[in-house]
Amino acid sequence: MKIAINGMGRIGRLLFRRLIEEPGIELVAINDIMPRENLLYLLKYDSVYGTSPLDMLALNETLVINAKPIELLSEPDALKLPWKSLGVDLVIECSGVYTKKEKAALHLEAGAKHVLLSTTGDTDVPLLIHGYNHDEWRPEDKIVSPGGCMTNSSTPVLDILESAIGIESVQLNFLHSYTSRQQLVDAPHHDFRRGRAAAESIIPVEIDQAATLERLIPSLKGKIAAVSTRVPVANGAMADISVVLKNKISREQIHAIFEEEANAKYKGVLAVNHEQLVSLDFKGNTHSCVVDATLTSIVGNHLKLIVWFDNEYGFTSRMIDWVRTIGGMNALA
């Protein structure tokens, strides 16, 4: 299966590292408009995941990784990308530019057979979450959105609670590491809070997560509110999920339900933790969500769950599941 990555930001570069060593995958091209020397530097050195052990050699417009050639492209216009001549089966769209269906379709016009976004995308793109509704995908769906890290961390949890017990209402607070859309020092920004120094404050950020979750789980329409709180760490996230349930249930019963689902429908996607861990302990964790059983609390019908996830590694794990699905390989292997 021949793959190209368009956009080499945090997700694109991590996918690059991981797909190079993925069986049955041939990474044939990467495209980004940043200076080539800078791209090569960032592919090798990473402040979160460390220095890459890959043997890299740049030869003109080709990057040789462990003796495998990869085209190095710097083309801002998707229509001009050489997907047809390279025989690209799947473009992983990580630039953040082509989130609408008509824009993502430019990769198809350029010769790619399928496009996988690295974000939720617009409502005209099928939103399919691995483990939840990925089995609705059909090969004729040429463009797919796998959601985002917060969607993948919360959808399994809410699906399980709604199916097993019933939800009256839910409030979600995603305590999330700072991102490139924030500022290192105070600076002008249309969202004043995003313009404040990311490593110096806990910064609330408005998100449209409620609408995304209602789209996925229609029975929760009008019952969800969500906010993201950016905290001064470079990686890792924690979802604080506060739920009013339709029926009373014990902590033991809640944990038993999640343990069962972690070994069934959501195997490889959801896990349950019973140790006293912190965010750093989940760096490199491949699950979309890890329910922390040590922090579960219930007052009457009011449940609070703490769910950990590596916002980059967990999410790219689900994207790799999509690569396997689209390529006809076994996902969650």
Token pair listed for 327: 């390529």
Residue whose tokens read 């249930």: 249
Looking at residue 228, its pLDDT comes to 97
The one catalytic residue among 112, 149, 198, 213: 149
**Residue range 36-45: mean pLDDT, rounded:** 95
Looking at residue 68, its pLDDT comes to 87
> How confident is the model over 142-178, as pLDDT tens digits?
999 999 999 999 999 999 999 999 999 999 999 999 9
Query: Has 289 been annotated as catalytic?
Result: no
Looking at residue 102, its pLDDT comes to 96
Whether pLDDT at 331 is above 60: no
> How confident is the model over 233-267, as pLDDT tens digits?
999 999 999 999 999 999 999 999 999 999 999 99
Residue 307 CB neighbours (<10 A): 26
Domains along the sequence of the chain with CATH: 2-118 (3.40.50.720), 149-311 (3.30.360.10)
Q: What is the DSSP letter of 231?
A: E
What are the beta bridge partners of residue 167? 245
Whether pLDDT at 333 is above 80: no
Q: Specify the amino acid at residue 157.
A: V
Dihedral sign computed on CA atoms, order 261, 262, 268, 269: positive
What are the beta bridge partners of residue 304? 242, 297
Please give the residue that has the higher pLDDT: either 81 or 58.
81
Taking the C-alpha atoms of residue 192 and residue 208, their distance in angstroms, rounded to an integer, is: 18
Q: Which of 50-64, 73-87, 189-203 has the lowest mean pLDDT?
A: 50-64
What are the beta bridge partners of residue 62? 59, 71
> How confident is the model over 315-330, as pLDDT tens digits?
999 999 999 999 986 5
pLDDT band at 332 (very low <50, low <70, confident <90, very high): very low
